[in-house]
């Protein structure tokens, strides 16, 4: 059975209890992080008229927000490594609220870029990373299920925000809506308050020389900062810690699994979001009316919503969990195939079928996206890993939709864009399959080697102890060994 | 004297004749002349009616001589002759009654109307006996996208109201804006109040910027697309509110969040204190046993209690 790297947590996660409350809290945080930028598009038309700007200048608002959210990843990771998830999420909620409240007083479009885009984006980054990280600290056995459930937040919050935003807009115009949205987003602080640092029970493993600190952590850990504990653990873990690597783990770039994930994801994200963005315009291009096109998006969101927990549950099953990387590779390839076949869909019925299959594909991929990263690097280093991954993914995420848009404009037809997106997803999918087969083999070899080494060292320690007992005078001089 | 007396009845007759002439002219402002006066463009619209009442919209930009034709395929009776006539806005047009013959299993009614201004636009209906009716709705190009919800703005802020004509329809000559002033529509003129209004027309689009709005500016605003034949109107509603309105939900949600966060943190604090007192009770001096590293039993008890909690 291929090993997972997550066993080096150093304690046994609860896998339940308060963990499910934390999953709910993450559900809210992740939901707001992904759904908030998308839901603001309802206000664009009026803001565009108010400030007399072109459509592309307004669309930049979403892009700046998304870019800040991804760029804030490493900072968020550093803060989580030091202070734990709870304070970071609460600060994030406050940031977004402040950003939106300031934006409601805005007089220029630049003001909006700064308040909604930069401040809001950073606030959302401070919500996303900690929410993902804390799941890794609470769950080990049921982690894929927990991740799947938490990621369901995105479509659910989007489906709730969309009609709510419309209602707010009709009642209060864009200024009042921004103000009220700021207060709604403040509920992320409530989610943060629920993210109690996990209580790590005492360890009594003889070869663990951090037993002193962990014993201290048994009762007082509830009141103490988890951050200081993880700092202590990292001190004990390895030597040669520089200032930066105490906050964020740059040694990840030498980690084989992490590199595979990173390279694959960078290519994949070029074709990830564009089909969602262009689903409704493509439908209208094919001749469907506006309401039916909107209905397609609703079908897509509904299917997405249901498949995410199901994927989490499947990922947890004993057949899939050891080979979860293959499941992820399958999800990525399936996305690619879906897009490649889309141009064959004819008529509205064909588009509905495509929306259903695309919803399945998108949901599967999203539910597994961070679970496989946790699986590869372990929950300990996950915080740094996700920070590095998001800042590098910033580029493809931002460039993807405009490139697709350019393809549509150049050829005047949507099918080339779908072919391109299909290729962007199928190639990484196949890459993942091959690389993970190789990675699993290597991990198996390494585990066999480390088992052998462990046997040898434990034999040596036993011999040493026997020899020490035979010489009592040495022991009293040296003290405890 | 006798000559003037003899002339009187003739004069009275002449006056009566001229009066009749005048009265017939004033009676029929809604009845368009059936014969074209000026050399206008000829345009033909024809619709076939098949057993059902139908209506067709016709949008006109310039004054034309419009020829409307109705074809009816008849019903079971298949009478040889049927009386047909035209109605405008529900009123029968004078001298329009004709006898229609059944030709090739069809009845045809055709009439040319001179459509020159707002009065001559309207609903024209051709009627076949008492059996079938077909309506033509003549108008200037209508503004398609109309916003049915009011535009919301805040006291002291400015607001931009827009009207857009579909680009497939003819381009308006210009746009006018009107404000509903209780009884009538008053035209908004930029020249008279340049510090309050700014109108920018852009072919198919028009924007009215109202600066420094107050609650008195709430109400209906009309935009009119001016064509040679007539002006077609659409309306936009403006609602002006104070900052207090969104502030109330904002503050109430803020209070809710603060209460929830405080409740969660206080519950956790009290829960943790309870656990601490539990754990510290039986294990009076955990630090004494630490250095020896021998008292595994006490350790195990503490960790087990921890896991149970």
Q: Residue A356: which domain range?
A: 19-200+251-444
Range name among A373-387, B114-128, B273-287 with the lowest pLDDT average:
B273-287
Same domain, B50 and B122: yes
Among A200-204, B155-159, B288-292, the range of highest mean pLDDT: B155-159
End-of-domain residue from the set B222, B241, B260: B241
CB spacing of B254 vs A183 below 8 angstroms: yes
pLDDT at residue B187 in the model: 78
User: Does A337 map to a domain?
Assistant: yes
pLDDT at residue B282 in the model: 60
Q: Once rounded to an integer, what is the mean pLDDT over residues A366-384?
A: 89
Res. A256: pLDDT tops 90: no
CB spacing of B275 vs A52 below 8 angstroms: no
Q: Are strands B64-72 and B41-49 parallel, antiparallel or unpaired?
A: parallel
- Scanning every residue of chain A, which has its alpha carbon at the shortest distance from the alpha carbon of B266? A193
Same domain, B157 and B132: no
Q: Which residue has the higher pLDDT, B216 or B7?
A: B216
Res. A308: pLDDT tops 70: yes
Same domain, B104 and B179: no
User: Does A160 map to a domain?
Assistant: yes
Res. A60: pLDDT tops 70: yes
Number of A–B residue contacts, CB under 8 Å: 97
d(CA B292, CA B309): 27
Q: Which residues of B touch A212 (CB under 8 A)?
A: 290
d(CA A303, CA A109): 36
Res. B31: pLDDT tops 80: no
Q: Once rounded to an integer, what is the mean pLDDT over residues A130-153?
A: 92
User: Does A456 map to a domain?
Assistant: no
Q: Where residue B283 falls among pLDDT bands split at 50, 70, 90?
A: low
Q: What is the pTM of this model?
A: 0.76
Q: What is the mean pLDDT of chain A?
A: 84
CB spacing of B306 vs A480 below 8 angstroms: no
pLDDT at residue B192 in the model: 76
pLDDT at residue A337 in the model: 93
Query: Can you give the CATH number for the domain in which B97 is found?
Result: 2.60.40.10
**Among candidate residues A212, A240, A217, A220, the one with its CA nearest the CA of residue A229:** A217
CB-based contact, A290 to chain B, within 8 Å: no
Mutate to test the interface with A, among B212, B275, B303, B307 (most CBs of A within 10 A): B303
Same domain, B128 and B205: no
Range name among A174-183, B68-77, B84-93 with the lowest pLDDT average:
B68-77
- Scanning every residue of chain B, which has its alpha carbon at the shortest distance from the alpha carbon of A168? B246
pLDDT at residue B1 in the model: 44
Beta bridge partners of B48: B71
DSSP characters over B141-170: PPP-----SPEEEETTS-EEEEEE--TTSP
Same domain, B156 and B234: yes
Phi, psi values for residue A36, rounded to 5°? -60, -50
CB-based contact, A165 to chain B, within 8 Å: no
pLDDT at residue A218 in the model: 38
Phi, psi values for residue B177, rounded to 5°? -120, 145
Calculate the CA dihedral of residues A162, A285, A272, A329 and round it to 10 degrees: 120
* A22-39 tens-digit pLDDT: 999 999 999 999 999 888
Res. A224: pLDDT tops 90: no
**Among candidate residues A192, A223, A169, the one with its CA nearest the CA of residue B151:** A169
Res. B36: pLDDT tops 50: no
Res. A117: pLDDT tops 50: yes
d(CA A393, CA A267): 9
User: Does A368 map to a domain?
Assistant: yes
CB spacing of A180 vs B261 below 8 angstroms: no
User: Does A223 map to a domain?
Assistant: no
- Structural domains counted in chain B: 2
Sign of the C-alpha dihedral computed for residues A274, A280, A281 and A283 taken in this order: positive
Evaluate whether A205 touches B262 at the Cβ level (below 8 Å). no
User: Does A234 map to a domain?
Assistant: no
pLDDT at residue A236 in the model: 43
User: Does B120 map to a domain?
Assistant: yes
* Helices A18-39 + A85-103 axis angle, to 10: 30
User: Which residue's entry shows tokens 């480390």?
Assistant: A450
pLDDT at residue B85 in the model: 85
Among A119-123, A199-203, A374-378, A399-403, the range of highest mean pLDDT: A119-123
User: Does B4 map to a domain?
Assistant: no
Evaluate whether A182 touches A104 at the Cβ level (below 8 Å). yes
CB-based contact, A480 to chain B, within 8 Å: yes
End-of-domain residue from the set B225, B241, B257: B241
CB-based contact, B157 to chain A, within 8 Å: yes
Phi, psi values for residue A183, rounded to 5°? -70, -35
Query: Can you give the CATH number for the domain in which A126 is found?
Result: 1.20.1250.20
CB spacing of B265 vs A193 below 8 angstroms: yes
Same domain, B90 and B46: yes
CB spacing of B260 vs A190 below 8 angstroms: yes
Among A220-234, A312-326, B168-182, the range of highest mean pLDDT: A312-326
DSSP characters over chain B: -HHHHHHHHHHHHHHHHHHHHHHHHHH-SSS--SS--S-PEEEEEEEEE-SS-EEEEEE-SS-EEEEEEEEE---SS--SEEEEEEEETTEEPTT--EEEE-BTTBEEEEEEEEE-STTT-EEEEEEETTTEEEEEEEESPPP-----SPEEEETTS-EEEEEE--TTSPPPSEEEEEEEETTEEEE--TTT-TTTEEEEEETTEEEEEEPS--GGG-EEEEEEEE-SS-EEEEEEEEEEE-THHHHHHHHHHHHHHHHHHHHHHHHHHHHHHHHHHHHHTT-S-HHHHHHHT--HHHHHHHHHHHHH-
Q: Residue B78: which domain range?
A: 41-139
Q: Once rounded to an integer, what is the mean pLDDT over residues A80-88?
A: 91
Same domain, B124 and B185: no
CB-based contact, A204 to chain B, within 8 Å: yes
End-of-domain residue from the set B77, B108, B139: B139
- What separation in angstroms does the CA of A130 have from each of A199, A261, B9, B94, B269? 17, 20, 108, 83, 22
CB-based contact, B259 to chain A, within 8 Å: no
* B262-280 tens-digit pLDDT: 999 999 899 888 888 887 7
Q: Which residue has the higher pLDDT, A61 or B16?
A: A61
Q: Where residue B19 falls among pLDDT bands split at 50, 70, 90?
A: very low
Mutate to test the interface with B, among A84, A101, A173 (most CBs of B within 10 A): A173
User: Does A213 map to a domain?
Assistant: no
* B205-247 tens-digit pLDDT: 888 899 889 988 888 898 888 888 888 888 899 999 998 999 9
Report the 3 state secondary structure along chain A.
CCCCHHHHHCCCCCCCCHHHHHHHHHHHHHHHHHHHHHHHHHHHHHHHHHHCCCHHHHHHHHHHHHHHHHHCHHHHHHHHHHHCHHHHHHHHHHHHHHHHHHHCCCCCHHHHHHHHHHHHHHHHHHHHHHHHHHHHHHCCCCHHHHHHHHHCHHHHHHHHHHHHHHHHHHHHHHHHHHHHHHHHHCHHHHHHHHCCCCCCCCCCCCCCCCHHHHHHHHHHCCCCCHHHHHHHHHHHHCCCCCHHHHHCCHHHHHCHHHHHHHHHHHHHHHHCCHHHHCHHHHHHHHCCCHHHHHHHHHHHHHHHHHHHHHHHHHHHCCCCHHHHHHHHHHHHHHHHHHHHHHHHCCHHHHHHHHHHHHHHHHHHHHHHHHHHHHHHHCHHHHHHHHHHHHHHHHHHHHHHHHHHHHHHHHHCCCHHHHHHHHHHHHHHHHHHHHHHHHHHHHHHHHHHHHHHHHHHHHHHHHHHHHHHHCCHHHHHHHCCC
Q: Are strands B107-115 and B64-72 parallel, antiparallel or unpaired?
A: antiparallel
Range name among B44-48, B131-135, B160-164, B263-267 with the lowest pLDDT average:
B44-48
| Both tokens assigned to A133 | 């990280």
**Among candidate residues A407, A424, A282, the one with its CA nearest the CA of residue A350:** A282
Res. A94: pLDDT tops 90: yes
pLDDT at residue A192 in the model: 94
pLDDT at residue B12 in the model: 55
Give percent of chain A with pLDDT exceeding 70. Answer: 86
Q: Which residue has the higher pLDDT, A359 or B126?
A: A359
pLDDT at residue B39 in the model: 60
pLDDT at residue B9 in the model: 55
Q: Where residue B27 falls among pLDDT bands split at 50, 70, 90?
A: very low
User: Does A102 map to a domain?
Assistant: yes
User: Does B287 map to a domain?
Assistant: no
Res. B76: pLDDT tops 60: yes
- Structural domains counted in chain A: 1
CB-based contact, A208 to chain B, within 8 Å: no
Q: Which residue has the higher pLDDT, B40 or B252?
A: B252
d(CA B80, CA B177): 54
Using CB atoms within 10 Å of the CB of residue A472, give its burial: 0 to 12 exposed, 13 to 18 middle, 19+ buried. exposed
């Amino acid at each position: 059975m291929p090993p997972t790297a997550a066993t080096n947590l150093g304690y046994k996660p609860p896998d339940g209890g308060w963990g499910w409350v934390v999953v709910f809290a993450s559900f809210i945080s992740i939901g707001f992080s992904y759904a908030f930028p998308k839901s603001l598009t309802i206000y664009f038309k009026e803001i565009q008229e108010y400030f007399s700007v072109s459509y592309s200048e307004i669309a930049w608002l979403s892009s700046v927000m998304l870019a800040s959210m991804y760029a804030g990843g490493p900072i968020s990771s550093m803060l989580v490594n030091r202070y734990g998830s709870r304070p970071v999420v609460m600060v994030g909620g406050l940031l977004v609220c402040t950003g939106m409240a300031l934006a409601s007083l805005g007089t220029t479009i630049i003001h909006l870029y700064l308040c909604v885009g930069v401040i809001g984006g950073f606030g959302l980054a401070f919500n996303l990373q900690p929410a993902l990280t804390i799941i890794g600290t609470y769950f080990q056995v049921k982690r894929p299920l927990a991740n799947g459930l938490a990621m369901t937040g995105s479509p659910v919050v989007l489906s709730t925000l969309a009609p709510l935003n419309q209602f707010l807009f009709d009642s209060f115009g864009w200024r009042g809506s921004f103000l009220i949205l700021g207060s709604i987003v403040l509920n992320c602080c409530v989610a943060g308050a629920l993210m109690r640092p996990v209580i790590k029970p005492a360890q009594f493993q003889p070869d663990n020389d951090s037993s002193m600190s962990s014993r201290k952590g048994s009762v007082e850990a509830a009141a103490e900062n988890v951050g200081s504990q993880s700092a202590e653990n990292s001190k004990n873990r390895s030597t040669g810690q520089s200032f930066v690597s105490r906050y964020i783990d740059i040694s990840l770039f030498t980690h084989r699994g992490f590199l595979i994930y990173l390279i694959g994801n960078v290519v994949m994200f070029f074709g990830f979001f564009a089909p969602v963005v262009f689903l409704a315009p493509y439908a209208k291009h094919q001749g469907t009316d506006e309401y039916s096109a909107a209905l397609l998006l609703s079908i897509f969101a509904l299917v997405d919503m249901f498949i995410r927990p199901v994927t989490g549950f499947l990922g947890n099953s004993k057949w899939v969990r050891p080979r979860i990387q293959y499941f992820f590779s399958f999800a990525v390839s399936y996305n690619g195939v879906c897009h490649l076949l889309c141009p064959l869909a004819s008529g509205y019925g064909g588009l509905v079928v495509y929306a259903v299959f695309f919803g399945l594909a998108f949901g599967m991929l999203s539910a597994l996206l961070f679970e496989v990263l946790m699986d590869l690097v372990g929950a300990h280093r996950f915080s740094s890993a996700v920070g590095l991954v998001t800042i590098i993914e910033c580029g493809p995420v931002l460039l993807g939709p405009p490139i697709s848009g350019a393809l549509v404009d150049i050829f005047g037809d949507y099918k080339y864009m779908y072919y391109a997106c299909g290729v962007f997803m199928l190639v990484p999918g196949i890459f993942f399959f091959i690389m993970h087969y190789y990675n699993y083999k290597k991990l198996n070899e390494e585990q066999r080697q480390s088992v052998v080494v462990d046997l040898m060292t434990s034999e040596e320690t036993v011999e040493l102890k026997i020899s020490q007992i035979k010489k009592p005078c040495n022991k009293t001089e040296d003290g405890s060994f | 004297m006798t000559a003037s007396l003899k002339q009187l009845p003739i004069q009275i007759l002449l006056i009566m004749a001229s009066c009749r002439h005048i009265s017939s002219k004033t009676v029929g402002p809604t009845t368009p002349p059936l014969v074209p006066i000026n050399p206008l463009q000829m345009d033909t619209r024809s619709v076939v009616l098949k057993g059902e009442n139908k209506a067709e919209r016709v949008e006109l930009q310039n004054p034309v001589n419009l020829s409307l034709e109705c074809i009816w395929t008849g019903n079971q009776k298949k009478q040889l002759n049927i009386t047909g006539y035209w109605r405008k806005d529900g009123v029968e047009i004078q001298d329009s009654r004709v006898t229609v013959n059944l030709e090739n299993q069809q009845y045809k009614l055709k009439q040319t109307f001179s459509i020159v201004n707002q009065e001559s636009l309207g609903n024209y209906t051709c009627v076949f006996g008492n059996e079938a009716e077909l309506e033509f709705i003549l108008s200037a190009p209508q503004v398609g996208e109309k916003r049915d919800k009011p535009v919301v703005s805040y006291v002291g802020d400015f607001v931009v109201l827009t009207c857009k004509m579909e680009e497939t329809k003819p381009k308006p000559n210009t746009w006018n804006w009107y404000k509903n002033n209780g009884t009538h529509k008053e035209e908004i003129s930029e020249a008279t109040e340049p510090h309050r209004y700014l109108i920018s027309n852009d072919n198919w689009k028009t924007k009215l910027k109202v600066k420094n709005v107050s609650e008195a500016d709430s109400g209906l605003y009309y935009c009119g697309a001016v064509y040679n034949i007539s002006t077609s109107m659409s309306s936009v509603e403006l609602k002006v509110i104070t900052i207090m309105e969104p502030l109330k939900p904002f503050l109430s949600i803020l209070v809710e969040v603060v209460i929830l966060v405080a409740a969660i943190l206080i519950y956790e604090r009290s829960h943790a204190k309870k656990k601490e007192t539990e754990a510290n009770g039986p294990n009076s001096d955990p630090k004494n046993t630490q250095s020896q590293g021998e008292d595994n039993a006490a350790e195990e008890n503490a960790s087990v209690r921890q896991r149970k909690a």
